[in-house]
Amino acid sequence: MGTGNLKLTICHLYPKLLNLYGDIGNIKALQYRAENRGIEVNLKEVNAGDDIPNADIYFIGGGQDRQQVDVSFELQKHKDFLTKQRDENKVFLAICGGYQLLADYFQPIDGEKLIGISLLSGYTVGGKKRFIGNVTAKTEFTTPETLVGFENHSGRTYLTGSTKPLSHIIVGNGNNGEDLTEGARYKNVFGTYLHGSFLPKNPHFTDYLIKLALNNLSEDFELPPLDDTIEMNAHKSLINKPY
Ligand code: GLN
């Protein structure tokens, strides 16, 4: 079956609080790559105080520790709903500060512990030195296997339980600068430290997320190829770029 009758709802969580280094580009990449396959996209923005709607893909960006305080508080109200969405295999993509809050907690170096919603299992502690620079990592989920982006964080994330790394570091620091892991995955919940924006430079991973979301709607579909020359040129230009 083609993708003609399919509709995807994408929910952008707290864009007014968490949206660093062009994180909005991730939403635009999902929308562009879905719409160019004839898939209708319904985009919903959720801000503090709003209910969270049913969606196929949830996106949350990165931000400063201060904004994370408000988002940690907001997310607690929706923990049960979002846990149910995760367990129905809905797709989540969380960047940096949003990633930290989808896991168990973030303990900043000099502030109160911020409680997460444990869609991923793992925790983050603040470090003295920020990790700032280019990242190349390798994942087993896509072809090509490389993921590229830009990291800027003080938090060190350590994964626990059934949550596995999204990728393994070739250049950069990733989760904690120690164990060569970058990002996380549990079910269809993905976290990563890669900003940049992440998805426009990783079109293969964007399609991977779209396919996972469409899998929940129809088992039998094919994503027609798109001309990715520009996107893959950007991707290739960053592979192994010095930190
Ligand atoms: N405040 C977090 C940290 O520095 C998140 C930063 C970000 O989202 N870029 O670890």
- In angstroms, the CA 36 to CA 182 distance is 30
Mean pLDDT, rounded, of the chain: 96
Q: Give the position, in ligand 1's atom list, of the atom nearest the Cα of 96.
A: 8
Q: Name the residue among 240, 195, 6, 21 with its Cα closest to residue 95.
A: 195
Would the CB of 31 count as within 6 Å of ligand 1?
A: no
CA of 55 to the centre of ligand 1 (A): 26
Backbone angles phi, psi at 141, to 5 degrees: -85, -15
CA of 98 to the centre of ligand 1 (A): 8
| Tens digit of each residue's pLDDT (9 = 90 or more) over 135-147 | 999 999 999 999 9
Give me the long-range contacts of 222-231 (CB less than 8 A, separation at least 24): 222/1, 222/2, 222/3, 223/3, 223/37, 224/2, 224/3, 224/37, 226/33, 226/36, 226/37, 228/203, 231/200, 231/201, 231/203
Would the CB of 97 count as within 6 Å of ligand 1?
A: yes
CA of 107 to the centre of ligand 1 (A): 11
| Token pair 């770029």: residue | 241
> CA 212 from chain center: how many Å?
14
- pLDDT score of 2 more than 70: no
Q: Please give the positions annotated as active site.
A: 96, 195
Would the CB of 62 count as within 6 Å of ligand 1?
A: yes
| Tens digit of each residue's pLDDT (9 = 90 or more) over 14-67 | 999 999 989 999 999 999 999 999 999 999 999 999 999 999 999 999 999 999
| Tens digit of each residue's pLDDT (9 = 90 or more) over 150-184 | 999 999 999 999 999 999 999 999 999 999 999 99
Would the CB of 96 count as within 6 Å of ligand 1?
A: yes
Confidence band for 215, pLDDT divided at 50, 70 and 90 = very high
| Tens digit of each residue's pLDDT (9 = 90 or more) over 63-96 | 999 999 999 999 999 999 999 999 999 999 999 9
Q: Is the pTM of this model over 0.95?
A: yes
Task: Output the pLDDT for position 3.
Answer: 55
Task: Output the pLDDT for position 4.
Answer: 59
